Amino acid sequence: MTGGMATIAGGVLAGYVAFLGGDDPVEKTRFATYLLGASIMNAPAAIVISKIIIPEEKDRKIDAHLDISGEVPDVNLIDAMSRGASEGLRLALNVGAMLLAFIAVIAALNYLLSGIIGEFLGLNSLVVSSTNGTFSGFSLEYLLGQVFRLFAWVIGVEWKDTLAVGSLLGQKTVINEFVAYLGLADMKAAGTLSPKSIVIATYALCGFSNFSSIAIQVGGIGSIAPGQQGNLSRLGMRALLAATIACLMTATIAGALF
């Protein structure tokens, strides 16, 4: 579970390269290198942090017996292609629906925070002036930035950029890394972050470590191994914590070598 949350899939990696690199081939190559490096480094980091959070017991007995079903789900190549296409479409629609739902929730919360609370209490102008225009008002991104600001500083981000990077870390954990990378691309285009902060943020966001991934893994792995449903649910939060630490550790190393 930790390994799945600490890394990203190859399909979405290409999308993130397009977000961050824009139309510049050199920039695309640079960010592809960062994301590939982060994915490779996060794999062993996930094992290390998992062993720290749940140490292995020496006297623990492991059942080596494994029953493998010999049933072939498809009758021929055409049947396999048809099933794969339909399952892929369902997965794509599921991801798209989740993304639309999360973006809609963010918009609703930002309207409540900025459009109502911020306007009524006069917090919007205070936030704009205190952040030098980095944030347009009292928004969810601003609140997440304050919560995760210390984590951004610990992994090596310059203090002047910690609020912005902290906001990205918060969006990745609470929402998903897709939304966070969109925010990073906007900040990069606006010149909000320093080059070092962009590198650290790129590494730190490279993982599926968010709350929705717990449900995805419990549902996905649970359908394959129904007997492990209880363990998956019990270990979900600890796997999320371990994956988040693994991503932050990798980002710290990248920042130190920048």
Pairwise CA distance, residues 99 & 225, whole Å: 27
Task: Please give the helix or strand (H or E) that residue 244 lies within, else none.
Answer: helix 229-257
Q: What is the pLDDT of residues 84-126, one digit of tens each?
A: 888 778 766 766 676 677 778 878 888 998 889 988 888 888 8
Q: Is the pLDDT of residue 63 over 70?
A: no
- Asked whether residue 51 is domain-assigned, the answer is yes
Give the closest residue to 179 by CA, choosing from 19, 52, 55: 19
Q: Is 45 in a helix, a strand, or coil?
A: helix
Whether 65 is in a domain gets the answer no
pLDDT, tens only, 142-161: 888 888 899 999 999 999 99
Asked if the structure places residue 71 within a domain, the reply is no
Mean model confidence pLDDT for the chain: 85
Residue 61 lies in a domain: no
Is the pTM of the predicted complex or chain greater than 0.85?
no
Q: Is the pLDDT of residue 225 over 80?
A: no
Angle, CA 212 vertex, CA 137 and CA 55 arms, to 5°? 115
Residue range(s) defining the domain that contains residue 196 = 2-56+80-257
Helix (H) or strand (E) holding 105: helix 77-110
Q: Is residue 15 part of a domain?
A: yes
Count of residues in the chain: 258
Least confident residue range of 61-65, 81-85, 241-245 = 61-65
User: Which residues have a Cβ under 8 Å from the Cβ of 74 and sit 6 or more positions away?
Assistant: 80, 83
For residue 72, is it within any domain?
no
Query: What is the sign, positive or negative, of the torsion defined by CA atoms of 161, 184, 4, 41?
Result: negative
The Cβ of residue 105 has, within 10 Å, a number of other Cβ atoms equal to: 12
Residue 152 within a domain: yes
Mean pLDDT of 191-198: 92
* 194-201 average pLDDT score: 94
Mean pLDDT of 6-25: 87
**Residue 75 placed within a domain:** no
Q: What is the mean pLDDT of residues 214-226?
A: 72
User: Does residue 46 register a pLDDT over 90?
Assistant: yes
Q: Is the pLDDT confidence value at 223 over 90?
A: no
Domain count, the chain: 1
Backbone angles phi, psi at 64, to 5 degrees: -85, 0
Q: Is the pLDDT of residue 244 over 80?
A: yes
Query: 15 pLDDT band (50/70/90 cuts)?
Result: confident
